[in-house]
Amino acid sequence: MIMIGDRIALLREKFGMTQEELSKKIDISRASLCHYEKSRREPDYDTLVKVADLFRVTLDYLMGRTHDPHQTLDPHIRSFVDQLELSDKLLVDQFALTVDGKKLSFEEARRFIAFVRAERAIK
């Protein structure tokens, strides 16, 4: 299985960039990039998005879920997924939302959603 770090290194090399150049473009330290490329650490979501945007690839490609760097969800499926409301009890019951390998109860999912909404309101 290909690791995220392997994909980042392959893309960086494909575009003829040094670690120093890439780290500056995505606003991280060169040491952090080195840790990512060697799979010692995994990048956070914001860093993954910056890498995907810079190299014009999908997050699924970076994460090794597809070998096609440009594969995206069908627009109708993307629209459906984007409109899912996780506060719907039937939806929460249907999908296994987990933390630390344990399925969230509906009440835990509601508290999690409330936390995310509060955090968004602060920003």
Q: What pLDDT digit, counting tens, does each position of 38-48 carry?
A: 989 989 999 99
Residue 6: pLDDT over 70: yes
Instruction: Go through the domains of the chain in sequence order and give each one's CATH number.
Output: 4-62 (1.10.260.40), 84-122 (no CATH)
* 98 beta partners: 103
Cα first-last separation, the chain: 37
What are the C-alpha distances in Å from 40 to residues 35, 50, 55, 123? 5, 19, 22, 31
Distance CA 65, CA 112 (A): 26
**pLDDT: is 61 or 34 the higher one?**
34
What are the C-alpha distances in Å from 89 to residues 43, 60, 79, 109, 111? 32, 28, 20, 9, 13
Average pLDDT of the chain is 82
Instruction: Provide CB contacts within 8 A for 72, sequence distance 6+.
Output: 58, 78
pLDDT at residue 32 in the model: 96
pLDDT at residue 71 in the model: 65
**pLDDT: is 99 or 42 the higher one?**
42
